[in-house]
Amino acid sequence: METYLFFVIILFILAASDLIVGVANDAVNFLNSAIGSKVAPRHIILVVASLGVVVGTLFSSGMMEVARSGFFNPTMLTLNEVMVIFLAVMFTDVLLLDIFNTFGLPTSTTVSLVSSLLGGSVMMALVKLGKSGKGIEFIGQYINTGRALGIFSAILLSVVASFAAGSIVQYITRLIFTFNYEKTLKRYGAIWGSFALTSLTYFIIVKGAKGTTFLSSEIIEWIKVHTWSVIGINIVGWTIILQLLMWFTRINILKPIVLIGTFSLALAFAANDLVNFIGVPLAGLSSFQIASASSNPLGIKLDALLEPARTDTLILILAGLIMVGTLWFNKKARSVTKTEIGLGRQFEGYEKFESSGVARGLVRMSMMIGHYVQSLVPLRIYSWIQKRFDITKAEYNKLDKSERPAFDFMRATVNLMVASSLISLGTAYKLPLSTTYVTFMVAMSTSFSDKAWGRESAVYRVSGVLTVISGWFFTAFLAFTSTSILSLGMYYGGLIVTIIIVLLAIVLIARSNFLHTKREKKVAKLESAMIASEKSAILENLADDIKNFLASAHKIYDDIFSGLSNESRKKLKKSVKTSKELDDSSSVIIGKIIQGAQILDGIEAHEDLNIGKAISSVREISASIADIAKMTYEHVDNNHTGLAKEQKEDFKQLRNLITAQFDLVAKKFSKKDLSKLEDLDEKIQEMKKSIKKLDKNQIMHIKKGTAKVRANVLFLNILFKTENISNNVSEIINFNKELIKSKVKK
C-alpha cells in the first residue's frame, strides 16, 4: 500500500499545480469584464474576485461526485485501476492547461477534466474486457455512457445558449441605453440594475445554496419554498438602493453592479470548477481510504465511491487560497485575459490573430445578410437603430488610447449578469457547464451585438474566435487521447513509468514558462506601437525603432550568408524564425509612422516626407529578408547542391557591400546626424555597380557549368533582393531625415 500512498501524494501535488494552471486559464472568466471596462484599479478588482473565489469554494462540495463516479462504474474497478485513471487524468490536465496558458488561449478546464476521465475510463474498460475475454459490447458495464452524454450535451448547449442570451440581452440593453447612457441611466438605471443584481442573487444564493457545506437543510428548503418571495424582495430592495445612490451620490451605479457581478461570477466559477482541480485527488484519497480499511485492499471493488461526497471545509478553503494566490501573482492568467479582452474591445488596435479563409468567408456572408435585413427594415426604423448604436457619442472616446477601456460599463454588466446566471444555474443542477465556454461566448456575443467588430478588424476577430473554439475541440481530443495512453503506460509500467512521467512533466512546465516569458515580451513590444502615452513619444522613439530594425536585418543577413556558405540547416532555420520577428518589428514601425502622420503640423507642406514610400520601404526590407531566408533554408533543407566556390566568393563580396551600408547607417544613427547622406548614396551606387558585375558573373558560371541550376537560381534571387534591400534602406533613412525636420503639434 506504500506505493498507493505515494500515488495519493502525487495526486495532491498535481492538485496544487492544477489549481494554479486552471485558475490561470479560468481567470479570464470573471476578470475580463471588470478589467476590460476598467471599472476600478486592478488591485481592487482582484480583491473582489478573491473574495468571490473563497466564498465560492464553500458551494462546490455537491459537484465532487462527477470525479468519483461520473464516468466509470467503481463497482467494476479495483484500487490500482482507479489510481491509474486518476493519475493519468491529473498529469494530462496540468500539462494541457499549461500549454494553453503559455499561448494565452482560454480553454475549458471542465472539458479537459471530463474528456480525460472518459479517456482513462475507456482505456481501463478495454483492458478489463481484454483480460476477461469479453467483447466491446460489454463496455457499458464499465462506462457511464448516459452521464457522459448528458455532460457533453450540457456543455454544447451552453455554447449555443450563451451566445443567444448574450446577443439578445446586449442588443436590447443598447437600444434602451445607447452608448451615451448618462441620461437614460437616470431614468431606467435603478430598475434595470435591480433586475441585473436580482438575477445574480437568485442564481448564486437561491439556486446555488443546495451545494453549500455551511447552510442547514432546513434553511435551504425554506429558500426553495419561498423562492418568489426572495426574488420580489431583491427586486424592490435593489431598486431602492440603486435609486438612492443616484439621487444622493455621484456614484455611477454600473460600477458597483460590475464589481458585484465580478464577485458573483468568481463565486460561480469556484463553485462549478473546483471539482476540475481537486475532485480527482479527493476521489483518489477516498479510494485509498476505502481500500485501506478492507481486509483485501487490492482486490476490493470501490462501491463506496457511489456514495455522496462530503468535502472537508478546510480543504475547500485551502484550495480557495491557492486560487487567490494564482490570481494575484500568475503572469499567464494575465495573458489569457488579454486574449479575450482583445477580441471583444470596441476600438481597433493590435490584433493577435491573423485572418483566415474561413473568417473572411464568414465576414462576407454576414455582410450580405446584414444588407439583406437592412433592405427589409423601414428606413425610419433603421435610422433610429443606427442612432442608438452611435459609438461616437460614447464618453470614453474623449480619452487617450492608453486610458481608454476595451468596452463600457454597460456591456461589462451584461457580460457578468448573463454569464453568472447561466453558470450558477448549471451548478445548481450539477451540470458541469464550462465556465470558459459560457463567459467567452457571452463576451463575444455582446461585442457582436455592440458592433465592436468593424470592417477593419472583423476578419481578425472572427479568426481569433474560431481559433479559440478550435482549441476547445483540440482540448477534448488531446485530453481523451493523452489520458488513454498514460493510463495504459502506468497500468503496465507501474511506479517506474509514473516517476518518468513526473520528471517529464516538470521539464515541460519549466520550458513552457520560458516560452511564455519570451512571447509576452514580443506582444508587449507590438502593443506599444498601437498605444502611445504621449504624442511626441511616437516620433521620438521612431528613430530608435528604425535603427533596431535595420540592425536586426543586418544580423539575419549575416546568418543567412554563414548558413548557406557552410550549408548549416540549423542556422538557416533560425534565420527564417528571426525574419518573422523582423516582420513584427516592421508592423511596429509602420504603426508609429501612421500615428506620427496624424500629429504632424501641415504634413502636406512637407514635400519630401513621403509616408507611403516609407511604409513600402519598411515592408520591402522585411519581405526581402524573409524571402532570402526562406529560399536558402529550403535549398539546404532539400539537400540540394550548395553554392560553387566562385559563387561563395561572389556572395561574400555582396555581404561585405550590404554590411558596409548597414554599418554606415548604424553610425549615423548613433551620432544622431542624418544631415548629410552623400556617403550613403555612394555606398548604394557602389552596390548597384557590383550587382551588375555579379549578375554577369552568374551568366559566366552558367555557361561554364561550374554551378548547378538550382544554385544559380538561388543566387540570382539573393542578388536582386539584396539590391532591393539596399535601395529601400536609402528610402527609409531619407524619410527619417525629413521627419526630424517636421514640427509636431503641441
For 482-494, write each residue's pLDDT tens digit.
888 888 888 888 7
Rounded to an integer, the average pLDDT of 646-651 is 85
The reply to whether 155 and 279 lie within a common domain is yes
pLDDT of residue 533: 41
Q: What is the number of domains present in the chain?
A: 2
- Give the residue with greater pLDDT, 97 vs 309: 97
Angle of helix 280-292 relative to helix 79-102, nearest 10 degrees, comes to 160
> Is pLDDT at 515 greater than 70 in this prediction?
no
Average pLDDT over every residue of 669-696: 75
Residue-number span of the structural domain to which 418 is assigned: 2-342+352-524
- Strands (E) across 361-411 are located at none
Band of pLDDT at residue 540, cut at 50, 70 and 90: low
Of the three residues 466, 496, 524, the one that is the final residue of a domain is 524
So what's the pLDDT on residue 306?
A: 63
Q: Residue 506's pLDDT band (boundaries 50, 70, 90)?
A: confident
- Across the range 552-577, mean pLDDT stands at 89
- Confirm whether 585 is domain-assigned: yes
Q: Give the number of residues written for the chain.
A: 746
- More confident: 317 or 44: 44
Q: Are residues 52 and 128 in the same domain?
A: yes
Kindly state whether residues 255 and 147 are assigned to the same domain: yes
Least confident segment among 205-214, 262-271, 464-473, 637-646? 205-214
| Same domain? 519 vs 543 | no
Instruction: Please tell me which residue, 561 or 149, carries the higher pLDDT value.
Output: 561
Domain boundary among the residues 524, 553, 572 is at: 524
Q: Give the residue from 110, 455, 133 showing the smallest Cα distance to 271.
A: 110
In the predicted structure, residue 68 carries a pLDDT above the cut 70? no
Average pLDDT of the residues in 17-44: 82
Classify residue 240: in a domain, yes or no. yes
| Residue 673 counted as domain residue | yes
Do 85 and 143 lie in one domain? The reply is yes
- pLDDT at position 60 over 70: no
Cβ–Cβ under 8 Å, residues 687 and 726: yes
Residue 746 lies in a domain: no
Same domain assignment for residues 639 and 674: yes
Give the model's pLDDT for residue 209: 54
Looking at per-residue pLDDT, the higher value among 348 and 533 belongs to: 348
277 Cβ neighbours under 8 A, 6+ residues apart: 15, 18, 19, 22, 23, 109, 319
Residue 243 has pLDDT above 50, yes or no: yes
Q: What pLDDT does 240 receive?
A: 92
In this model, does residue 604 exceed pLDDT 50? no
Q: Is residue 347 domain-resident?
A: no
What is the overall mean pLDDT for the chain? 78
The answer to the question of residue 271 being in a domain is yes
Residue 358 covered by a domain: yes
Examine the domain organization and report whether 447 and 539 are in the same domain.
no
Dig out the grid coordinates for 484 from the structure.
Answer: 488513454
| Domain co-membership, 476 together with 585 | no
C-alpha grid cell, residue 524? 508587449
Output the pLDDT for position 605. 43
User: What pLDDT is attached to residue 746?
Assistant: 41
Average pLDDT on 302-315 reads: 67
CATH number at residue 635: 1.20.58.220
Residue 638 belongs to a domain: yes
pLDDT tens for each residue of 396-422: 766 766 677 888 888 889 988 888 777
Beta carbons within 8 Å of 674's beta carbon, 6+ residues apart: 668, 733, 736, 737, 740
What is the pTM (predicted TM-score) of this model?
0.69
547, 449: one domain: no
Mean pLDDT value across residues 666-686: 72
Residue 743's pLDDT band (boundaries 50, 70, 90)? very low
Pick from 472, 490, 524: which residue ends a domain?
524
Q: Is 744 helix (H, G, I), strand (E, B) or coil?
A: strand
Average pLDDT rounded to a whole number, residues 434-458: 81
Whether residue 161 is predicted with pLDDT greater than 70 in this model: the reply is yes
Is residue 641 helix, strand or coil?
A: coil
253 and 270 share a domain?
yes
Torsion-angle region of 594 (φ positive above 0: left; ψ -120 to 50: alpha; else: beta) = alpha
Same-domain check for residues 77 and 141 = yes
Q: Do residues 246 and 190 touch, judged by C-beta distance below 8 A?
A: yes
Q: What CA–CA distance (Å, rounded) separates 7 from 729? A: 62
Residues 515 and 569 placed together within one structural domain of the fold:
no
